[in-house]
């Protein structure tokens, strides 16, 4: 956990964010809750986001994968898809998350795949299916994000890992 990862973003998306001073792959690899939980983003586009998370370290007292951990994985994947759909002029803000937990998992990795249900101008909804290493469904989730225009102070709130060195981060620059 905490290691630099290589997310597969479409190059045109990486270039678009870099022009605004955002190092998109670094933004999804350091300093946030998903990183502490061992979430690894393997693939990311507005059409499909794939990530994994270890069960170990993310369990409840009975030794099963914690439902909240599944929720973190689901919201992370759906938020990334929503953000990529919204483009560089919008921020994706989660407004509704629901999860149905189908089976317990005690070890290994779980994999989440987020695909769009709705991609509109002001909202995006993603279905996230989380499976175990035997490809059995562990959790079904749905996330709706509001897409809002980026405000003047939003870039300044990016973690250091997501900033391109020397890029302006305030409205006056």
| Catalytic choice (3, 75, 133, 149) | 75
Distance from C-alpha of 43 to C-alpha of 15, rounded to nearest angstrom = 16
CA proximity to 83, closest of 74, 92, 70: 92
Q: Verify whether residue 75 is a known catalytic residue.
A: yes
CB-based contact 91:148 (threshold 8 Å): yes
Which residue pairs from 34-38 have beta carbons closer than 8 angstroms and sit at least 24 positions apart in sequence? Answer: 34/72, 34/73, 34/76, 35/1, 35/2, 36/1, 36/2, 37/1, 37/69, 37/72, 37/73, 38/1
Q: Name the token pair of 86.
A: 């919204």
**Strand partners of residue 90:** 149
Question: Which residues are designated catalytic?
Answer: 75
């Amino acid at each position: 956990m905490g290691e630099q990862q290589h997310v597969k973003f479409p190059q045109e998306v990486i270039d678009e964010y870099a022009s605004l001073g955002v190092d998109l792959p670094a933004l999804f690899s350091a300093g946030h809750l998903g990183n502490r939980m061992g979430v690894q983003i393997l693939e990311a586009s507005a059409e499909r986001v794939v990530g994994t998370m270890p069960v170990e370290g993310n369990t409840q007292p009975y030794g099963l994968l914690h439902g909240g951990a599944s929720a973190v994985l689901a919201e992370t994947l759906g938020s990334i898809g929503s953000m990529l759909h919204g483009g560089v002029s919008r921020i994706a803000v989660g407004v509704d998350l629901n999860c149905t937990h189908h089976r317990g998992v005690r070890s290994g990795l779980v994999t989440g795949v987020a695909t769009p249900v709705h991609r509109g101008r002001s909202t995006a909804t993603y279905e996230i299916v989380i499976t175990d290493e035997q490809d059995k469904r562990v959790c079904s989730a749905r996330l709706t994000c509001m897409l809002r225009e980026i405000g003047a102070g939003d870039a300044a709130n990016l973690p250091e890992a997501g900033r391109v060195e020397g890029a302006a981060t305030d409205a006056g620059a």
